[in-house]
Amino acid sequence: MSTLYPDITGYILAGGRSRRFGKDKRQILIGGISLLEKTRRLLVDLLGREPFVVGDNLSDLVLDPSTIVPDSRPGCGPLGGLVAALSHSPTVWSLVMAADMPFLTIEDLRRLADARAERFDVVALSRTGAPEPLAALYHIRRLHYWHECLDSGLYSLAKSIKTLDCKTVILGASSRSLQNINTPDVLDVIENDL
């Protein structure tokens, strides 16, 4: 197990309701492994320790209770999960991941982790230059900023990142690493490609 990144704690935001998908996509099996488990394994491989799972609707999942972090404010989307992660994190960096990116690789996450630098507030993976907020490193010093966004009802991570010092790690326009599963049609295409 790697100990190259002792300043990073992993978090999987798994509190989504899967409204567009129609059922709990965290438990969808791709290659015999649930999306949530695939993401967990990636983070364990990268960090050498268990990530935390953030959400307010985790009772249907088989999880170690010591790895569960409740959303800071249920019903506020990924921002509530981000604030919970940063409030909980024992390290200066929190690697915040969605659980529905089946093409993401350990190499992608290593590139992300290796790009961190103290002067950045966020370091995010990207296909075309726009940061992907749910495959990103967040620095603890901006916790207050994210609390303010939550209190103001500014729930869009993509919009709020634009005011911070953000570095993007470009994977390339042809990369599928950041493709997520939001509808059953997308799942059908992904299953055919894996």
Q: What DSSP state is assigned to residue 98?
A: E
pLDDT (tens digit per residue) in 8-50: 999 999 876 555 555 567 777 778 888 999 999 999 999 999 9
Per-residue model confidence as pLDDT tens digits over 130-143: 999 999 999 999 99
Query: Which ranges of 116-178 does DSSP label H, i.e. alpha helix?
Result: 143-152, 157-161
Confidence of residue 194 (pLDDT cuts 50, 70, 90): low
The answer to whether 121 and 141 are in contact (CB under 8 A) is: yes
Whether pLDDT at 1 is above 50: no
Identify the pLDDT of residue 65: 83
Distance, CA of 121 to CA of 83 (rounded, Å): 14
C-alpha Rg value of the chain to the nearest Å = 15
How many alpha carbons lie under 13 Å from residue 162 in its C-beta half-sphere?
7
Kindly list the domain boundaries of the chain, sorted by start residue: 8-193
Superfamily grouping for domain 8-193: Spore Coat Polysaccharide Biosynthesis Protein SpsA; Chain A (3.90.550.10)
Helix ranges (H only) for the chain are 35-47, 78-88, 106-114, 143-152, 157-161, 184-193
pTM exceeds cut of 0.75? yes
What crossing angle do the helices spanning 143-152 and 78-88 adopt, rounded to 10°?
A: 150
